[in-house]
Amino acid sequence: MHYDHDVKRDLQVYAASLGFAEVKCTGVEAFTDWADLVATQSEADRAVLKDKGFVIDPKEQYPWARSLLVAVFPFQPGPCGEGDATRLLGGFSSYYRWSHLAYSRVESITAWLEAHGFRADHKAMIPLKAAAHRAGVAHYGRNGLLHHPQYGSLINLQAILTDALFEPDTPLPDVTDCGDCRICVDACPTGVISIDGPPHPYRCLRYWQDRTDIPPEMRVAMGMRIQGCEICQTCCPLNEAVLKQETAWENPYDIIALLTEQGTARAARMEQIGALVGDNYARPGRLAYMAAIAAGNTTDQRVIAPLQTALTHEYEPVRQAAAWALGRHGAQVAIPQALQIEYENGRKYPHA
């Protein structure tokens, strides 16, 4: 077998210049063990497998592919995960501060391979954790995430199929390195992590943040979080060294502003959020919905008037969440003020 050793080495050097700590390789054999394991898990896992259209057998869908690369993009933790109740700022996970960069930079790896005469594709829906474990990148954690020996679980993973023939890296001998630890099992606010099985995807807070029908118990567990949850990572002893490297950055998830801003002020904030976490997440209606839930999870009375304003928001889920949040603040304060707003609106739009 003639492996492209020199190309692999040059590619790793190039990937390092883009911020990837490591690019490892596995073959393009089917992920049969992974698919079999998923089949033994919850109905929810099987549904995720079907809905997401995972590539279980790369050879079948990408017959030209000869290697599967897994690129590891480590990132620095930040201070904004939980939000800030005193300053009324919503929380966003540090993962989102960096993941859009990883997504844009993997395109450069594909372009580099193409410029060197190879075919490459980084858009295939590869089961990334299974691929990374098979490429010897990291171990599974009980929290369902992979931990890299140096960077812990604070990594974004990317997969690239190519027709270059690279020598596969050796898979790690153990599946998990958690041992007897159960810290994340106890720390998860929704009890989603089990001692002897992977997390149930639909009970993870992050799952619900993509939806507008968040059940009441999940809204309460959400706290001030607007985008992502990192409790099962910040509590993990395998992340201890990385978490010490926390860097400060601005938090633009101002709850009052997200509930009330309009026009150019709103557009400017969305631009700021887009620059920070990617335009895909800079959606005013969705962010106002999550801000209303966060406002319902604080006892701070400064959110009452903005929530009342949000009762007339143009996006229906925001109006619903604002009503729920006002209910949490207590009917005595909220309802008379809400009625006053209705009255004012009635005067403004007498025939509505």
- DSSP code of residue 314: S
Regarding beta strands 91-92 and 225-227, do their DSSP bridges make them parallel or antiparallel, or are they unpaired?
parallel
In angstroms, the CA 90 to CA 104 distance is: 26
CA distance 67 to 229: 33
Q: Does 130 contact ligand B12 by CB under 6 A?
A: yes
Q: Which of 164, 178, 224, 270 binds ligand SF4 (CB under 6 A)?
A: 178
User: Out of ligand B12, ligand SF4, none, which partner does residue 155 contact, by CB within 5 to 8 A per kind?
Assistant: ligand B12
- CB 144 to ligand SF4: min, Å: 7
Of residues 164, 157, 95, 162, the one with CA closest to residue 131? 157
Q: Are the C-beta atoms of 145 and 232 separated by less than 8 Å?
A: yes
Please, which residue, 6 or 51, has the CB nearer to ligand B12? 51
Q: Among 88, 138, 193, 243, indicate the residue that binds ligand SF4 (CB under 6 A).
A: 193
> Considering the rule CB under 6 A, would residue 93 count as an interface residue with ligand B12?
yes
Buried b (16+ CB within 10 A) or exposed e, 281-296: bbebebbbbbbbbbbb
Q: Choose which of 52, 182, 211, 302 interacts with ligand SF4 (CB under 6 A).
A: 182
**In terms of CB distance, is 169 or 230 closer to ligand SF4?**
230
Counting contacts by CB under 6 A, is residue 285 touching ligand SF4? no
**Binding status of residue 143 toward ligand B12 by CB under 6 A:** yes
Beta bridge partners of 158: 71
DSSP-derived 3-state class of residue 59? helix
DSSP lists the bridge partners of residue 140 as: 146, 176
CA distance linking residue 24 with residue 261, whole number of Å: 46
Residue 294 tokens read as 């966060």
Residues 255 to 314 in contact with ligand B12, rule: CB under 6 A? none
Q: Which stretch binds ligand SF4 (CB under 6 A): 46-54, 107-115, 231-239, 264-272?
A: 231-239
* Number of residues this chain uses to bind ligand SF4 (CB under 6 A): 24
Convert 298-310 to b/e letters by CB count within 10 Å (16 or more is b). beeeebbebbbeb
User: Which span (3-11, 137-145, 242-250, 335-343) binds ligand B12, by CB under 6 A?
Assistant: 137-145
Binders in 40-69 for ligand SF4, by CB under 6 A: none
Percentages of the chain per state (helix, strand, coil), in multiples of 5 = 50, 10, 40
Q: Which of 49, 183, 220, 341 is close enough to bind ligand SF4 by CB under 6 A?
A: 183
d(CA 342, CA 323): 13
Chain residues binding ligand SF4 by CB under 6 A are 141-143, 178, 181-184, 188-190, 192-193, 199, 204-206, 229, 231-232, 235-238
Chain residues binding ligand B12 by CB under 6 A are 34, 37-38, 41, 45, 48-49, 93, 95, 125, 127-130, 140, 142-146, 153, 155-157, 175-176, 198-199, 201, 204, 206-207, 228-230, 232
